[in-house]
Amino acid sequence: MEAQSSKWVFRMTPIRFLLLILAGVAAALAVYRLVVGLGATTNLNDHWPWGLWIGFDVLTGVALAGGGYSVALIAHILHIEKFNVIARSAMLTSLLGYLLVMIGLFLDIGQWFNFWRPFVSWGYHSVLFEVFWCVSLYTTVQVLEFGEIGTEKVAKSWHRLFAKAMPFLLIVGVLLPTLHQSSLGALYLTQVGKLHPLWWSPYIGLFFLMSSFFVGPAMVTVETSLAGRAWKHWVDVKIIRSLQRIGVTVMLMYLILKIWDLFARDAMQYVFAGGLESTMFLIEMGLGVIIPIIIFFIPWGKTRAGLITAGALVALGVIINRMNVVIVGMIGYSGAGYIPSAIEILVTVGLVAGGALAYCFICDNFRILDHQEEQHKVAQ
Amino acid sequence: MEKKAHEKEVTRRGFLKMMGTLGLVGATATALAGCGSKESAGGGGWLPQQYQAAGTWPTQVRGRVPLDPFSPSLSRDDKKCILCGQCLEVCQRVQSVFGYYELPVKNDVICVNCGQCSLWCPTAAITERDETQKVFDALQDPDKIVIVQTAPATRVALGEEFGLPPGSWVEGQQVAALKALGFDKVFDTNFTADLTIMEEGMELIARATGKKDPNKYPLPQFTSCSPGWVKFCEYYYPDLIPHLSTAKSPQQMFGALAKTYFAEKNNVDPKNIVSVSIMPCTAKKFEASRPEFNDAQTYWGLDEEIRDVDVVLTTRELARMIKAKGIDLPSLPEEKYDSLMGEGSGAGLIFGATGGVMEAAARTAYFVISGGQSAPILFNLTPVRGLEGVKEAELDIPGFGTLRVAVIHGLGNARPILEAVRRGESPYHFIEFMCCPGGCISGGGQPRTSLPPSDAVRQARLDMLYKKDDSYELRESHENKEVLELYKSFLKEPLSPLAYDLLHTEYTGRGSYLKALPLEKLS
Amino acid sequence: MAYVKFDTPGKGVLVDLTKCVGCGSCSLACKLWNDLGHDDEVPDQGPDAKLSDKNWTAVKFFALEKDNEPVYRFVKNQCLHCQHPACESACFSRAFQRTENGPVVYYPHLCVGCRYCMLACPFDVPKFQWDKSFPLVTKCQMCSSRVDKGEAPACVGVCPTNVMTYGDRDELLAMARKTIESDDKYIKHIYGEHEAGGTNWLYISDIPFEKLGFRTDVTTRPIQEYSHEFLKYTPPVIVAWGGLLSAMYVYTKRRKEVAGKDKKDVPM
């Protein structure tokens, strides 16, 4: 791997070329949307003020990028060193995820030139205010955290400074996500009576926080397997399994709390009531929580394939959960359906493609995957 | 010289450059200033002055009339409404319709379709439901025979739409314009006005001489040719419906005959006839849409619904059609109505004026009761003429005694009389009610005049009708030859069974659509 | 929990739905006064009447049955001007603020266009200018500039049948209670008295509110409180969790240094 050399490289492969096209199309569509407005480009309307971009790009994006803070907490705050091997890639994914979230959010607001307003006009009664501040600060923190990696290659004289700042950045970088991951869920507290009782709960903030925490290990698993294939850099199964053990522990707590909450609010009746909501809820919980837990405890769960499957299911489950909250859980109240427009979908796909490309580019040029000297080996 | 020109060119370019820069700077500054507004939203428009009042002060004029969006007569364009309140003013204070029922409402938007609101509306936000396209389409269709009738009052008002003074007589030009538009037959509602007199007059005689059951057909007899008035009676005085003459209005008589008598005489399929009427009235649109007015269909025993009158156009709509075709009405040569249903007497003509129906009926009733003589004084029955709201007259008829009549126009004027009838204190045998002030000449479909419509214009139109009546040879309905021919060859005689089938009707009590406020509660 | 605490509930409007004849004056007055324009797609009157960016108020027509007889009713919809507005608590840039006189007003220059207010409003009042390049949120301002001058909102002043009464909310509430208690035809409920913690627009009716398109399952707890219930934990969480993280960082690092002196790993 030429990460250490001062040359900039970007290997072009067919998949990367496809990603590039998707990202390019999305960029063009994004500019188009910024010029002509939301009504002309999205299927949003007064019944559906929030759709795919908020649901997937923002809510889901932030959750999936939760790997950064959970791994940072485990590896760097708690200093469980065996996880250092995956920490950099997890935190890079998180950084890219948050940048994409910021782009998604920027595309979704009507007065995009006014995006800075909450910095000066403090709507501190708003849960969104907390989300806004935390997400923007956390993205800044992550950029600074990346500075420690970046200065290994460019502006090397700053490296010591960044390295010195890391402890502080790491602590703030765990604190902020804790706040906004939960407040993203708490946004829906105001939807009392609107959001279907399977999802609306006074503890929805806690549920969002927990799921964003346990989706971290799952995402890291999936991501290291993808990276492993691309860069022939395989992380030890044991490390992945012990990371997932932490995730599964939180998932078990999540499951118990969820069941208790449903009983406490007398919402258990909706779980098996049939219909769209109950089906989607069962898929979300079954596929995304219960089956991964089972996989972990059966022998297959000790293999790489089993762990990757479990991780993918957990990530899928969180995606379904966020989309359920934003879309499925609101259909009953809204009375109208919502299918994202082609532009909404293409921009979302393009954002993800752009993120993947950025990940590839950074892995090609910086020490992300093999920064432990003892693991250092030349790829290819 | 050359150098000077060069300098000049440079200067011009510099000047243009400077102006362009200034323009850009100005536009940017304006845009920035616009973005920087710290105001809360809203309040950027205006409201009429009467609404700029302290919160609890009741303003005298406010709001507007409720209109049924599916009203067959009237439509309202909110883009033009300025909430001046004039529609409400005429509806409540002149016509006594709005505000005369208890709230909450039942299941109707109370409206007598008179269209006076459309005359009072300063921006024409309220106007008739435009049906000109239907007529244009019918005229285009080669399979259709489009026949048209023109009401007595349109010929003294249509000219105003083309710059002529109020009351200008354009009967001949109107016929010519209709023919130029492509109507196959142009007939006159005056013909059926005369017919109405025959039927309604005979009915009056029957009631007055006790030939009809006084419980079912009591006195006084009310006229029934003003559809706004009829609906008003159905709403507010449903108990007095038996007083209404069973004779249809001239428009509906014409419609029924168009698809029976005319169809038979000309051997055409009634299904192919499109019967159009030109009326000074928006309520006529509603009248034509009343479900019971399909007597031609019953006559022919058809399953498919055919309406006696297919389309009713107001005077304003006709003017619009004429203008759309680029026809200059005043310069047209005068033409005559087609025969069969085109002859009308002076009696039929003055149907357009308040008191006219009464006067016309009196002429024929006198003739019939007295056994064939006409009293010359009846040709100028002055007590029933003019714009007085309530007019009374007494006629001594040989062989009968004194016939006491009253003439009312404007629905607000009707209420005290109707209350008296209700109490059994009415001395009259016969009462003419016209919905609109001044009668049909100032109907809701007539050309717009001053705001509110002035009596001067009404008087000018009235004067022309009486002037023309005075100049006619034929001034009595029972002398209309085409009417006599109709009886001879088709209906047999007034009040015959066929006449009942085609020329008489029944009314619908609408008392259940509202709860009328008792009059004493209103003042 | 408002940004500024007010002692008085402010001005309000009492709507007596039994008096409405459906003339639409109120809706038009709103358009005139606020220069809103007309929406060809979304009517502001009739059976399909809806609030929209151009319809800050709408008069919806209902054909119903009462005592087995068909009746017509017309319901004027607009912002109810909550005592504790959900939109105010939802907006992260303070574009919505309740004023001392009662109206909940919107300041376009503060708006980012995130539409969280639309989600938060229990009555679905805020609407978005979907067809604009730089859209804003819109809603009834209760003609706050008129109210500040002591004038009734535009819609109130133009009503020919006195459907609406403008005044102090507590007086209106007393009036409404007296009306529904003294007349049998009224439903014994004042809509807006408790809904979403109380609104400055109050409704009385002779037809059950749920049949007239009103949301009767709405919480009586101010929506603000749901957010507050969550946000009040933010400062303690920052302090406690931040402190705990720092402590853990220092502790585990020290332990590691003590445990393995040969390790020369730097974080990350």
**C105 vs B40, B78, B81: nearest CB:** B40
Confidence class for position C268, pLDDT limits 50, 70, 90: very low
Specify the pLDDT at position A370.
64
Q: What is the pLDDT of residues C26-58, one digit of tens each?
A: 999 999 999 999 988 899 999 999 999 999 999
Chains contacting A (3+ CB pairs below 8 angstroms) = C
C-alpha distance from A111 to closest chain C C-alpha (Å): 5
pLDDT in tens, A132-142: 999 999 999 99
Question: Cα–Cα distance between B153 and B349 in angstroms, integer?
Answer: 8
Cis peptide preceding B104, ω within 30 of 0: yes
Q: Which residue has the tokens 């706050």?
A: C144
Chain C environment of A114 (Cβ under 8 Å): 109, 111-113
pLDDT of residue B35: 52
Would you call A339 an interface residue with chain C, using a CB distance cutoff of 8 Å? no
In the structure encoding, which two tokens stand for residue C80, read together?
């109810």
Active site residue B91: no
Of residues B185, B248, B284, B285, which has the active-site annotation? B284
Query: Which chains contact B through at least 3 pairs of Cβ atoms less than 8 Å apart?
Result: C
Q: For A184-205, how does the pLDDT look when each residue is reduced to its tens digit (9 = 90+)?
A: 999 999 999 999 999 999 999 9
B3 given a catalytic annotation: no
Q: To the nearest 10°, the Cα dihedral for B277, B282, B285, B286?
A: -150
Contact C113 A112 (CB under 8 A): yes
Nearest by Cα to B282 from B130, B68, B79: B130
Mean pLDDT of A72-85: 84
Tokens, residue A126: 């708003």
CA of C164 vs chain A CAs: smallest distance (Å)? 27
Q: What is the mean pLDDT of residues B203-231?
A: 93
**Contact flag C112-A125 (C-beta cutoff 8 Å):** no
Interface test with B, best of C30, C99, C161, C207 (most B CBs within 10 A): C161
Q: Is the pLDDT of residue B403 over 70?
A: yes
Tell me, what's the pLDDT at A375?
41
Q: Which chains share 3+ C-beta pairs under 8 angstroms with C?
A: A, B
- Closest Cα in chain C to B43: C34
B-chain residues within 8 Å CB-CB of C31? 45, 78
B287 catalytic residue (yes or no): yes
Check CB contact under 8 Å for A183 and C230.
yes
Phi-psi region of A299 (alpha: psi -120 to 50; beta: other; left: phi over 0): alpha
Q: Which of B160, B203, B234, B359 is catalytic?
A: B203
C99's CB contacts (< 8 A; 6+ apart) are: C10, C105, C144, C148
- Decide: helix, strand or coil at residue B129: coil
Residue A329: list chain C partners with CB under 8 A.
none
CB contact under 8 A, C72 and B67: no
Q: Is B35 a catalytic residue?
A: no
Query: Confidence band (pLDDT; 50, 70, 90) for A376?
Result: very low
Contact A186 C255 (CB under 8 A): no
Kindly name the residue from B7, B9, B102, B292 that is annotated as catalytic. Answer: B292
What residues of chain B lie within 8 A of the CB of C144, using their CB?
Answer: 40, 42-43
CB contact under 8 A, A77 and C252: yes
Q: What share of chain A is helix, strand, coil (3-state, %, to 5)?
A: 75, 0, 25
**Least CB–CB distance from C227: residue in A118, A122, A127:** A127
Residue C260: pLDDT band (50, 70, 90) is low
Give the B-side interface with C, CB within 8 Å.
35-47, 51-56, 59, 62-67, 69, 78-79, 81-83, 85, 88, 98, 103-109
Query: CB within 8 A of A230, min separation 6: which ones?
Result: A360, A363
**Rounded to a whole number, what is the distance in Å from the CA of B321 to chain C's nearest CA?**
27
Q: Is B200 an active-site residue?
A: yes
Residue of chain A minimizing CA distance to C230: A186
Does the annotation mark B160 as catalytic?
A: no
Distance in Å, alpha carbon of A194 to nearest chain C alpha carbon: 8
The pLDDT assigned to A378 comes to 33
Identify the active-site residue in B91, B440, B476, B477. B440
Q: For residue A129, report the phi and psi dihedrals to the nearest 5 degrees.
A: -60, -45
Active site residue B482: no
Average pLDDT, chain A: 88
Contact B55 C38 (CB under 8 A): no
How confident is the model at residue B64, as a pLDDT?
Answer: 96
Closest CA to A241 of A306, A285, A312, A294: A306
The pLDDT of A324-335, averaged and rounded, is 91
At residue C30, the pLDDT reads: 96
Q: What is the reported pLDDT for B32?
A: 53
Q: How far apart are CA A173 and CA A159, in angstroms?
A: 19
Distances (CA, A) of A281 to A191, A201, A270, A310, B68: 18, 14, 9, 18, 47
* Per-residue pLDDT tens digits for A207-248: 999 999 999 889 888 888 888 887 777 888 888 898 899 999
pLDDT value of residue B372: 82
- For the segment B40-73, what is each residue's pLDDT rounded down to a tens digit? 898 899 999 888 888 767 778 889 999 999 999 9
d(CA A253, CA B79): 61
Residue B73's identity, in one-letter code, is S
| CA-based nearest distance B60→chain C, Å | 9
Cβ separation A114–C131 shorter than 8 A: no
Tokens found for residue A108: 């979704």
Cβ distance of C158 and B51 shorter than 8 Å:
yes
Catalytic residue (choose from B200, B359, B476, B482): B200
- Give the angle subtended at the CA of A25 by the CAs of A23 and A30, to the nearest 5°: 90
Q: In this structure, which long-range contacts are made by residues C252-261, counting pairs with CB atoms below 8 Å and at least 24 apart in sequence? A: C252/A77, C252/A78, C252/A79, C253/A79, C255/A79, C256/A79, C256/A81
Å between A24 CA and nearest CA of chain C: 22
Question: Which band of pLDDT confidence, cut at 50, 70 and 90, is reported for residue C266?
Answer: very low
Give the model's pLDDT for residue C121: 95
